[in-house]
Amino acid sequence: MAPDDATIIPVTGSTTESTYDVVVGRGLLGRLPELLGERVRRVLVIHPRALRATGDTVRDELAEAGFTAVTAEIPDAEEGKHIQVAAFCWQVLGQNDFTRSDAVVTVGGGAVTDLGGFVAATWLRGVKVVHLPTSLLGMVDAAVGGKTGINTAEGKNLVGAFHPPAGVLVDLDALGTLPKNELVTGLAEVVKCGFIADPAILELIEGDITAATDAGSPVLRELVERSIRVKAEIVSEDLRESGRREYLNYGHTLGHAIELAERYSWRHGAAVSVGLVFAAELSRMVGRLSDTDADRHRSVLESLGLPVTYRRDRWAALLDGMRRDKKSRGDLLRFVVLDGVGRPGMLEVPDTSLLFAAYQEIAS
Ligand SMILES: NC(=O)c1ccc[n+]([C@@H]2O[C@H](COP(=O)([O-])OP(=O)(O)OC[C@H]3O[C@@H](n4cnc5c(N)ncnc54)[C@H](O)[C@@H]3O)[C@@H](O)[C@H]2O)c1
Ligand SMILES: O=C(O)C(=O)C[C@@H](O)[C@H](O)[C@H](O)COP(=O)(O)O
Ligand SMILES: [Zn+2]
């Protein structure tokens, strides 16, 4: 497909820094200089070990276009979201004399866009970042919206900053090498967008599972674009999560606790899948969601091959992890729940026995 067939999804924040385009299409690398802008001279390309060839291609294209481009190769997946990895990137930036008018480009899945975004947010108190997400999850969620961060021993994304990118290039060609199981875990966030805002997403998946899990299909492209639009619309209104942005955290309170309990051996999307079913059970239990809509969570996620249950014997660890969720206020745990498909809301839970009861519905 020619670059001309690209779809532009705008994020329109309240400042120039929080206003940018998400470009979706194929063969988009040529657009990178335009997103970086005229003042940028040096670019640090951050990529995981597993995507060295792609990182090198991006570096070479930038050099060809006249930039001074260097790469920083980081550990794969969640191992990259570590303070020592950020320190390594800061060192590379320092050793190569990066100034405030220079930039970071991330090439990889959500772990890389989170780490690279955090490095850009903190170097000299903030330099430009452009994301080139290569996983489905990175494309539909992590690269958009400006949340950046790293994990600590106590939990997921506990340190970070809001730092919107200068632009995002969603090149669907990158999905050609993505393993199927990684594509499927990315679909958990797509399903989340369906439940909180765009039921057509659910209908597309339920209507043709084969197409929904086919990296080259028009259905997958529509799912990508619809999910990005959901996120772009919400973060345009509420960058710093002072209100509506919390809805994007549907399924994440338990999901992040599972990731921690599993020492990050589970993919984020898999943990969010279980978290979505839990949040639906909670919504049903407090009388806010119908049986049909709650059951639909389990059926659509199961049909994609995503997990919908978790170990009964891990409840204490999960509760501990959930207390450190960023939506908590003091001792009060807060959850995103649904009042129907496309109708998210918040639930404050002072009594953890309710959570335990909901957990019984997903415990295996
Ligand atoms: N900032 C946000 O708003 C936000 C939103 C959602 C998720 N996240 C974060 O994103 C992370 C999860 O992202 P993820 O699922 O992409 O995981 P990931 O970045 O760990 O990537 C998953 C695996 O796929 C590989 N990979 C990526 N692209 C590939 C390609 N094109 N070909 C072959 N292999 C490829 C990676 O190297 C890795 O092994 C989590 O850390 C999560 O917290 C952040
Ligand atoms: O963009 C958001 O806001 C989200 O909550 C999207 C989530 O899918 C994403 O996993 C995010 O990183 C979670 O953020 P956290 O604030 O709970 O760490
Ligand atoms: Zn997520």
CA of 268 to the centre of ligand 1 (A): 8
- Same domain for 33 and 169? yes
CA distance 260 to 230: 27
Going by pLDDT thresholds of 50, 70 and 90, the confidence category of residue 4 is low
Q: What is the CATH number of the domain that holds 271?
A: 1.20.1090.10
Q: Report the number of distinct structural domains present in the chain.
A: 2
> Which ligand 2 atom is at minimum distance from the Cα of 325?
17
CA of 269 to the centre of ligand 3 (A): 7
| Of 22, 137, 141, 253, best ligand 2 pocket probe by most atoms within 8 Å of the beta carbon | 141
Domain final position from 177, 196, 228: 177
Condensed to tens digits (0 to 9), the pLDDT of residues 9-47 reads 999 999 999 999 999 999 999 999 999 999 999 999 999
Averaged over 121-140, what is the pLDDT?
A: 98
| Catalytic residue set | 125, 147, 189, 231, 241, 245, 249, 252, 256, 268
Condensed to tens digits (0 to 9), the pLDDT of residues 168-185 reads 999 999 999 999 999 999
- Same domain for 162 and 295? no
Average pLDDT of the chain, as a whole number: 97
Binding residues for NAD(+) are 76-81, 110-114, 134-135, 147, 156
CA of 271 to the centre of ligand 3 (A): 9
Domain final position from 161, 177, 193: 177
Instruction: Give residue 2's pLDDT.
Output: 43
Averaged over 46-74, what is the pLDDT?
A: 98
CA of 174 to the centre of ligand 1 (A): 13
Condensed to tens digits (0 to 9), the pLDDT of residues 80-90 reads 999 999 999 99
- Same domain for 152 and 229? no
pTM over 0.95: yes
Q: Has the ipTM of the complex gone over 0.90?
A: yes
3-state DSSP of the chain = CCHHHCEEEEEECCCCCCEEEEEEECCCHHHHHHHHCCCCCEEEEEEEHHHHHHHHHHHHHHHHCCCEEEEEEECCHHHHCCHHHHHHHHHHHHHCCCCCCCEEEEEECHHHHHHHHHHHHHHHHCCEEEEEECCHHHHHHHCCCCEEEEEECCEEEEEEEECCCCEEEEEHHHHHHCCHHHHHHHHHHHHHHHHHCCHHHHHHHHHCHHHHCCCCCHHHHHHHHHHHHHHHHHHHHCCCCCCHHHHHHCCHHHHHHHHHHCCCCCCHHHHHHHHHHHHHHHHHHCCCCCHHHHHHHHHHHHHCCCCCCECHHHHHHHHHHHHCCCCCECCEEEEEEECCCCCEEEEEECCHHHHHHHHHCCEC
Instruction: Give residue 350's pLDDT.
Output: 85
> Which ligand 1 atom is at minimum distance from the Cα of 145?
3
Q: Is the pLDDT of residue 313 over 90?
A: yes
Q: Is the pLDDT of residue 1 over 60?
A: no
Averaged over 213-235, what is the pLDDT?
A: 98
The domain in which residue 113 lies consists of 3-177
Tokens matching residue 257: 């606790």
| Of 268, 272, 306, best ligand 1 pocket probe by most atoms within 8 Å of the beta carbon | 268
Residue among 262, 298, 252 at smallest CA distance from 277 = 298
- Same domain for 27 and 44? yes
Averaged over 290-299, what is the pLDDT?
A: 98
Least distant ligand from the CA of 146: 1
